[in-house]
A and B are shown apart, each in its own frame.
Chain A
């Protein structure tokens, strides 16, 4: 029964999501236009994209227990290097794709090999430092490639027509949905593989893995490269979605946002991380609109100032979540079940 539901529910969600561009429903408060309007589709596409990117971060943080503060770098590589190759170097579509795929494996392989020499908090700081180097490079604007503070636009000459223009937002939406599905499938396969079992063992107790005769380093490196590679792909989708690159994607705050998404949804769970990424993006976008609304602007300063800062609300929400719902949204069903008198054993017990 549980197995059937485990396939049926995602399939149903996927079918509904795939037909969203064909529906002209109005969802008041949450969205500010009918589902098939380009603005709403763009927002939903962003949410789906971040559901995927959050899951790539979960491979590191949730499944392998690696606290990286530099994941933004790889999303930024996807965004910036694609934009630079297409716009500044005027490469064609296929050379660009080949270049990005190669870079998406080579760069995390080198940086991961260095940063994984340390573990725990030192690893977090080293990844942060590498991401900061990326941020500095982008700000430095070498040869005028990155455009510094302003960022860079995208040359659409070599991009398939299906992804160009407001009318084609629905195709971009499907692209983002495809990306989320791809990440989900790859992560599912990887986590259930034998390497995936070692990842979780490393998360639980790394010295024990060593005592059992396995060398954790290559397994951690595989997780790092896989997560970074998928993040690079996410960056490419993002570039197509927003039509340009801005330096915000290179900042430490961007990685922190990914961390918040994963913890919000539930670290170490596939659906949790995706729901977290989706919800965070929706909240981030809609709270911005809320803060600009007259209802908030008319409040006294004590309430107006905090309410008009989305990051303040998200940061506070995050702290409350860590304290009161440590497992994130994914743990809520089990929690609610725990409150009622239990009729059937929890899945873990049933498995034993």
Chain B
């Protein structure tokens, strides 16, 4: 058989099935607090988590402690009174017999041993940590993928206490209900577009996947009413990463959208990584209630822009005015003031509007100029966290704080990264995209380096500064998109049982209108193409290998009438000037992955493939 076909459940379905099996096993056994039911990795994707279940005759509180390798490593949480105890356990160590202590409010105390497997290889390893347990307490520094290494969480000692085994990527933020929002693990298109975002418990359970027709990239933001701002683009459009949508938290429907093409020229203020397709490269969104506005970072125009939330009108632009039309410079740009040092940001990430209206961001400093003649080499570059104070009355800007420039190229990340604001003077600066080749700062983006080459070295440096004193510094062996300090447990419901929800919808996949004249060989797709079809709840993924430049057309031919749905499958090698998550790069450039979304399709179809002038059967029939 030269073509394979398999159906794969959505993770929400697989997790629910496992949860039901778990509950059934618990119901059929005789478990007690002395001998509770224990399930390691209950939600499939989070191997350093577990669930402990038991019932008590009386309502009692339970204080659960995952014992650290030393006392400072203890992670403790008290669950509210109940008779039915379904306790998520988070923060286990890998390759270790963990001890979990359960202390009931009626005085009963017991210990549970949980043996874990070694942490998998594609998790960044902490190579340096400088902090104290007093400072970090039971906080965990979570990092999210920018490459082959998956999301992970590290304690005060640099020990990995959490990781995911699926590529959930980009931003991870805690929601008001205590869950986290993170990019979905379902890749939909190059270079790094995902089906949407997931609301997840830190024990790996997905409560909701919000699907976005144009896909998700980079960042999201929870509004005060719980609705979600999500970065996307118009499905099938000629340009990318230039749109934000507001999504209903309960239904997943899109309530409002902002298209930056309406307010910005696409060919002005170009950064060194600009391209016609990815002209803005929106990598962050922030809503500011005080001014009822959206602040958006556009890497490829070296610009942080502010839009009126209601009208979408442009209010201001933070950035080097070189290369912009004078009428825009006069109207929207700021003039630096003050006696202190001032530098514009280049190819920045993660803009944050502070309570007083100041704007912080990670200034990657990539290229270091708008003028190609003045581009700065990596070895001479710097990255930093920076805080600007803006005055929108007289359109002036002052740099009031920065961290990182003084470290030079050793802190230089040409891509990704973030800053976090805790209070005035207390910040996180995550330089997550550092790369060396042959001991020199790489001139190409680290995402494009061959990690199997011994001369390649990737690094993250995550720093927390409090009143100009470095209180925390961690280095890892990966590139990580962002870092976010969170506690495992929160005051809300740490684990809700029941099936998760798939919300929103995928786009209708664009069909090709022209028929390709091809000889019907009657044969199966040749083995050399290694054709595979993966059937998911909302899409069919075609995964195969073709030589560059071959004409490939995927066809869904109705079994009941003459309808044919035709999809052009690109085989051209694409070159990207940005690769914020190299997680889905293929080492074999013949690999083609093409999605046909089920949205808008109905009927029974056989799937055929045209390769150049020949049509092949696949033996695959789908009922949609």
Q: Do A and B come from one complex?
A: no
Residues of A that sit less than 8 Å from B by CB: none
